[in-house]
């Protein structure tokens, strides 16, 4: 689960970067408190062991202090602009390392330092004698510190960076981090002591349970990722809601405007057929814009999509009679062909229902000619046929005028070696065929 790349998305990474700042600060404060607690246990140490105990506490103390400074940009700024070159260098390192999946100074000091502290209570040469509560409290503090540090490691934002994913080896090692840390702590606890020294005043159950508890970091991280996944899903659902609302708003605005425009151009007798067609085309574009917003990107340019959009130009009570051939629905078109079909189809369908047709049958096909002599496949033809049961038109009459809509379409399709042909159907009605050579680009 922890090597699952599905969480390596922009949204999850953005969430992770945002939670890191407060969590790092809380974590550094918590581990600082653990270190203070360990210092407070020293008065119970034998006087002869105090110098050694204090010395062994220094590294982890430096580590938690550094981690705390790391969360304070203003302190880092002061250090970086200070007089002492080593401090300036350290501040520079802490700043640079903060945002990378790398072992930085504070991490190393804390990690190694806590093992050194553990060696005061367990390991081959522990300090003895110590009161039993001191052992238990010390082990609790050490485990709590390790939990905090490793939880930070396991939930670091760099695991979710989609642009710079962590190294594969690190990803594979991630599920084994808790077990490895637990193994180190248990190895120190269970390591043989120098002969004659009491191994552990409270017995082995408590230290083994505490050390073993570090393995629970694995389910902890899994639960954490379940929450991240839930956040991602909630974000997707919210995005969908926003898209739906926006698409309704934009669609409604454009559609109302387009209807007003269509009414105006239809009422104006001086307006040409091309203008009327383009006004009708606004409804198709409005529907496409709606679908694009809903999908969060341009939908696949299939005939089915185009047909759904074209139906928007037809009055609701006439749509039942408009039928797209089933084989045409999933035909995927090249962008130019789709654009041409988007220009052609609304005109042909509108002409049909305006001429009184009750049923309009539409089919779109790719026709592949035989390969030429040089073996190369010629470009396919795109054919859009619109059959209706209307009163029928005199053959080629619609193409006879200088600026009829079919004539204009015919001119457009000439650019692609195409044409529009209108003919009477044998059983009544009209068939209009628009055909062009599929555009390669």
Closest CA to 224 of 440, 433, 19, 421: 19
Nearer to other proteins, 32 or 299 (CB): 299
Say if residues 210 and 189 touch (Cβ distance below 8 Å).
no
Size of the site for other proteins (CB under 8 A): 35
**Site membership for other proteins, residue 232 (CB under 8 A):** no
The residue from 76, 149, 217, 382 that contacts other proteins (CB under 8 A) is 76
Residue 422: phi and psi, rounded to 5, are -115, 140
**Site membership for other proteins, residue 336 (CB under 8 A):** yes
The residue from 80, 87, 170, 265 that contacts other proteins (CB under 8 A) is 80
The encoded tokens of residue 107 equal 């991490």
Q: Per-residue string for binding with other proteins, 152-171, x by CB under 8 A?
A: -----x------x-------
Report CA dihedral (395, 399, 405, 406) to the nearest 10 degrees: 70
The encoded tokens of residue 329 equal 């629905």
Interface stretch with other proteins, choices 50-58, 194-202, 339-347, 362-370 (CB under 8 A):
339-347
Site for other proteins in 298-327 (CB under 8 A): 298
Task: Give the H/E segment covering residue 366.
Answer: strand 360-367
Output the smallest distance, CB 335 to other proteins, in A: 4
Any idea which residue has 């005199």 for tokens? 394
Nearer to other proteins, 142 or 434 (CB): 434
Q: Per-residue string for binding with other proteins, 20-39, x by CB under 8 A?
A: xx------------------
Pairing mode, if any, of strands 381-388 and 322-324? unpaired
Output the smallest distance, CB 21 to other proteins, in A: 5
The residue from 1, 39, 77, 330 that contacts other proteins (CB under 8 A) is 77
Interface stretch with other proteins, choices 11-19, 132-140, 323-331, 421-429 (CB under 8 A):
11-19
How far is residue 52's CA from residue 185's CA, in Å, rounded to a whole number? 20
Q: How many residues does the chain have?
A: 441
Any idea which residue has 């880092």 for tokens? 76
How far is residue 55's CA from residue 164's CA, in Å, rounded to a whole number? 40
**Site membership for other proteins, residue 73 (CB under 8 A):** yes
Q: Outline where 358-439 has alpha helix (H).
A: 405-414
The encoded tokens of residue 42 equal 């020293």
Task: Give the H/E segment covering residue 384.
Answer: strand 381-388
**Site membership for other proteins, residue 89 (CB under 8 A):** no
Output the smallest distance, CB 295 to other proteins, in A: 10
Nearer to other proteins, 18 or 172 (CB): 18
**Site membership for other proteins, residue 246 (CB under 8 A):** no
Site for other proteins in 386-415 (CB under 8 A): 412, 415
CA distances from 247 to 251, 269, 307 (A): 6, 34, 19
**Site membership for other proteins, residue 92 (CB under 8 A):** yes
The encoded tokens of residue 48 equal 């002869």
Q: What residues contact residue 292 under an 8 Å CB cut-off, 6+ apart? A: 298, 299
**Site membership for other proteins, residue 231 (CB under 8 A):** no
Output the smallest distance, CB 147 to other proteins, in A: 23
Binding site for other proteins (CB under 8 A): 10, 13-14, 17-18, 20-21, 73, 76-77, 80, 92, 95-96, 98-100, 157, 164, 278, 281, 297-298, 334-336, 339-340, 342-343, 412, 415, 439-441
């Amino acid at each position: 689960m922890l090597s699952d790349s599905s969480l390596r998305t922009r949204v999850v990474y953005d969430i992770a970067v945002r939670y890191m700042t407060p969590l790092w600060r809380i974590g550094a404060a918590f581990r600082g408190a653990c270190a203070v607690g360990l210092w407070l246990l020293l008065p119970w140490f034998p006087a002869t062991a105090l110098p050694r105990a204090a010395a062994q506490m220094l590294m982890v103390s430096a580590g938690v202090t550094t981690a705390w400074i790391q969360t304070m940009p203003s302190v880092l700024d002061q250090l970086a602009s200070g007089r002492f070159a080593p401090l300036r260098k350290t501040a520079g390192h802490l700043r640079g390392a903060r945002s990378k999946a790398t072992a930085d100074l504070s991490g190393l000091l804390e990690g190694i330092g806590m093992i050194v502290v553990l060696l005061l209570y367990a390991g081959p040469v522990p300090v003895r004698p110590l009161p039993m509560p001191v052992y238990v409290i010390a082990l609790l503090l050490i485990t709590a510190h390790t939990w905090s540090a490793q939880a930070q490691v396991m939930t670091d934002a760099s695991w979710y960076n989609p642009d710079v994913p962590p190294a594969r080896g690190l990803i594979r090692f991630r599920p084994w981090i808790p077990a490895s840390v637990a193994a180190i702590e248990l190895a120190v606890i269970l390591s043989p002591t120098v002969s004659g020294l009491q191994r552990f005043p409270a017995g082995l159950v408590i230290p083994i349970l505490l050390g073993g508890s570090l393995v629970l970091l694995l389910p902890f991280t899994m639960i954490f990722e379940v929450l991240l996944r839930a956040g991602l899903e909630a974000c997707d659902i919210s995005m969908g809601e926003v898209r739906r609302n926006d698409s309704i708003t934009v669609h409604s605005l454009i559609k109302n405007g387009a209807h007003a425009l269509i009414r105006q151009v239809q009422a104006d007798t001086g307006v040409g057929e091309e203008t009327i067609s383009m006004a009708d085309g606004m409804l198709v574009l409005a529907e496409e814009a709606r679908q694009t917003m809903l999908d969060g990107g341009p939908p696949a340019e299939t005939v089915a999509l185009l047909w759904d959009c074209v139906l928007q130009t037809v009055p609701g009570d006439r749509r039942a009679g408009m039928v797209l051939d089933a084989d045409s629905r999933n035909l995927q078109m090249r962008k130019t062909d789709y654009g041409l079909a988007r220009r052609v189809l609304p005109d042909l369908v509108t002409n049909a229902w305006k001429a009184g047709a009750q049923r309009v049958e539409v089919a779109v096909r790719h026709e592949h000619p035989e390969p030429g002599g040089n073996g190369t496949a010629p470009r396919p033809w795109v054919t859009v046929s619109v059959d209706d049961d209307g009163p029928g038109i005199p053959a080629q009459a619609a193409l006879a005028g200088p600026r009829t809509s079919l004539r204009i379409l015919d001119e457009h399709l000439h650019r692609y070696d195409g044409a529009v042909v209108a003919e009477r159907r044998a059983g009544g009605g009209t068939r209009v065929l628009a055909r062009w050579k599929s555009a390669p680009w």
